C-alpha cells in the first residue's frame, strides 16, 4: 500500500471506482505543475468523468494498465476523499461520528459553562446523559 492517493483515468468499459476529484472539494494537488502536466499530456480536464481519485488503501483496485498518478493529500483532503468514496450508509455514519467528535471536543468546557451559568447539575445530567460525577468534574 502507498501513502499517496491516486488520480487515474477510467477507460470506457471500466466499472466506476473512486470518486471524481471535484466531488471532494478543493484539492491543492490539482493546481500543481505535475498534475497539470499529467492532465495536459492525456488531454483530460479536471472535470472529466473519466478522471477518478482513490485513497491510498484503494489503489490496488485501479485497473491494470490504467494511466495513474500518485498525489499527496493533506489530512483534511484525505478525510473528505474517504468520506466521498464510502458507501452512502457508511458516509451517513461518518457524518454522525464527526458531529459526535465536534460535540465531545468541547464537552468539558460546555458542561463547565452550564454549571457556571447556574444550570442545576441534575438538569445537565438529564439533558446530556452524562454521569453526575463527570458533570461535576467539568466544573473544576
45: domain range? 5-73
The mean pLDDT value for 63-82 works out to 92
- 62 and 25 assigned to the same domain: yes
- Residues 9 and 69 reside in one and the same domain: yes
Q: Is pLDDT above 90 for 34?
A: yes
Residue 33 lies in a domain: yes
| Whether residues 13 and 47 fall in one domain | yes
Which pLDDT belongs to residue 121?
92
Last residue within a domain, chosen from 16, 43, 73? 73
Of the pLDDT bands very low, low, confident and very high (cuts 50, 70, 90), residue 1 is: very low
Q: What is the mean pLDDT of residues 85-96?
A: 87
Residue 96 lies in a domain: yes
In this predicted structure, the answer to whether residue 29 has a pLDDT above a threshold of 80 is yes
Residues 112 and 53 in one domain: no
- Tell whether 53 is covered by a domain: yes
- Say how many domains are in the chain: 2
Cα–Cα distance for residue pair 29/20, rounded to 1 Å: 14
Amino acid at each position: 500500500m502507498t501513502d499517496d492517493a491516486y488520480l487515474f483515468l477510467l477507460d470506457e468499459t471500466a466499472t466506476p471506482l473512486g470518486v471524481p476529484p471535484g466531488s471532494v472539494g478543493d484539492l491543492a494537488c490539482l493546481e500543481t505543475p505535475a498534475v497539470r502536466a499529467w492532465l495536459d499530456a492525456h488531454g483530460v480536464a479536471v472535470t472529466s468523468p473519466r478522471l477518478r481519485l482513490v485513497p491510498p488503501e484503494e489503489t490496488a483496485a485501479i485497473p491494470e494498465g490504467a494511466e495513474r498518478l500518485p498525489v499527496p493529500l493533506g489530512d483534511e483532503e484525505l478525510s473528505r476523499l474517504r468520506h466521498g468514496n464510502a458507501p452512502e450508509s457508511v458516509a451517513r455514519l461518518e457524518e454522525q461520528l464527526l458531529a459526535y467528535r465536534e460535540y465531545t471536543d468541547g464537552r468539558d468546557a460546555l458542561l463547565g459553562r452550564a454549571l457556571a451559568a447556574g444550570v442545576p447539575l441534575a438538569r445537565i445530567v438529564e439533558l446530556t446523559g452524562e454521569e453526575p460525577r463527570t458533570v461535576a468534574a467539568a466544573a473544576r
